[in-house]
Amino acid sequence: MIQYIKDSQKITKDQLYMQAALAEAEAAASEDEVPVGAVIVHREGIIARAHNQIERLCDPTAHAEILAVTQAAAFLKKKWLVDCALYVTIEPCLMCAGALVLARLGKLVFGASDSKTGAFGSKADINTLGLNHRIRVRKGVFGEECGQLINGFFLAKRKLKKV
């Protein structure tokens, strides 16, 4: 796992959990999946870890966020995740945002914004649609590192296509 905070630096809880999400994203990249990683935290502990598995499962809905929500709900034995926080390396898409609203997620922390499909302010903002639940959002935690990971992945893919 890449160490993003030096031992001598004070690390926030958000940074600590985002490091875990980045480790999941790196696992995805090693499996030739789009490198998105997610963890869900409940009462100061990680209860779910996931990364994209779209290629492996041949399932376009197998996004890290969806897989993590499924794990967390199973762990808690309840469908509402009001007391939980999701840490994900990139801004969730509309599909994932809808699932997070349906799960009544309490807090979302994401790293890199996604100008193409981001549904929490970049392309759209699901919190402005007047739905029955709004999610507290913090963006930009290790945003540069998260962005570099995903951008580097797609850059390498484009270079391979040219060969």
**pLDDT of res. 92:** 99
Annotated catalytic residue within 24, 33, 65, 91: 65
Neighbouring C-alpha atoms within 13 Å toward the C-beta of 10: 1
The CATH code for residues 13-162 is 3.40.140.10
Residue 158, helix vs strand vs coil: helix
pLDDT band at 162 (very low <50, low <70, confident <90, very high): confident
User: Does 115 have pLDDT greater than 90?
Assistant: yes
Q: What is the pLDDT of residues 132-149, one digit of tens each?
A: 999 999 999 999 999 999
The first and second tokens of residue 72, run together, are 């967390």
The vertex-79 CA angle with 139 and 19, nearest 5°, equals: 35
pLDDT of residue 1: 44
Q: In what order do the strands lie in the sheet with 37-42?
A: 45-51, 37-42, 84-90, 107-112, 136-139
| Interval 47-82: pLDDT, tens | 999 999 999 999 999 999 999 999 999 999 999 999
Output b/e per residue, 85-122; b: 16+ Cβ within 10 A: bbbbbbbbbeebbebbbebbbbbbbbbbbbeebbbbbb
| Residue 26 known to be catalytic | no
66, two tokens: 């969806």
- For the chain, what are the domain ranges? 13-162
